Amino acid sequence: MTTLAATIGKDTACILSESQLSDDSQHLKMGTECQKVFNIGSWVIAGSGWNRPGDILIYQMKWPIVPAKYQNPKEDLTGWLIKNLVPKVAQALIQHRAIDLDKGTAIQDAEFLIATHGRVWLLDEGFGITPIKDFFVSGSGGKIALGAISALKNNLGDWYNKHQDIARASIESAVEFDIYSSGPIRGFISHTSGRVEPA
């Protein structure tokens, strides 16, 4: 199980996760340090659900370079992702047999948060791309993380300067209260320039 949190400010986006790996029966809490958020070039990729689709996207797929035109926050990068990124993701998952054919053409029990140039999208199991505004959570601890984000956002103010700290606090809350979330918090910050740094 997993807890992911993404927050978006004025010039940055942040994606964080905890590091626990759970068994299929969901009865064991194992002390692993599973990395769930990765940086490839200007991309930050985080997955919840089964590991296999994420392994393919991280280690088997070549991530495209975002053309200069679409690096501008005013340009429609979502449309470019639909036309250029989603087919690459689908091709990689089909080639490596990580498609659930019982559900048609669907990613096997996984969804992803993808960031580049200070923006974040949800890539759902049906290959839909949804742009995220302000924040998004995913995984077993998502409701806990969402509650923490909502409370802190409303009480702290200054979202654009504090969104990364709020994301971290949301994962800390999930680690404390969700039995399927634990371990070190990891993640990355995506800048509108395309630069990525550890969070």
Which pLDDT tens digits describe the chain residue by residue (199 residues)? 689 999 999 999 999 999 887 666 656 666 666 789 999 999 999 998 878 888 899 999 999 999 999 998 888 999 999 999 999 998 998 888 887 666 666 676 788 999 999 999 999 988 899 999 999 999 989 999 999 999 999 888 788 889 999 999 999 999 999 988 888 999 999 999 999 999 9
Q: Please tell me whether the overall predicted TM-score, pTM, comes out greater than 0.85 for this model.
A: yes
Give the whole-angstrom CA distance, residue 139 versus residue 143. 8
Give start and end residues of each alpha helix (H) in 35-182: 51-59, 68-71, 77-80, 86-95, 142-156, 159-177
Give the whole-angstrom CA distance, residue 93 versus residue 20. 24
Residue at 135: amino acid letter: F
Q: Are 20 and 182 in contact (CB under 8 A)?
A: yes
Closest by CA to 145, choosing from 111, 199, 185, is: 185
Q: Where are the beta strands (DSSP E) in 87-185?
A: 110-116, 119-123, 129-132, 135-139
Both tokens of residue 85? 């990124």
Q: What is the pLDDT of residue 72?
A: 85
Q: Are 67 and 80 in contact (CB under 8 A)?
A: yes
Closest by CA to 85, choosing from 101, 100, 70, 105, is: 70
Q: What is the pLDDT of residue 1?
A: 66
Both tokens of residue 98? 């990580």
CATH class of 3-198: alpha beta
Give the whole-angstrom CA distance, residue 163 versus residue 106. 32
Size of the chain, expressed as the number of residues it contains = 199
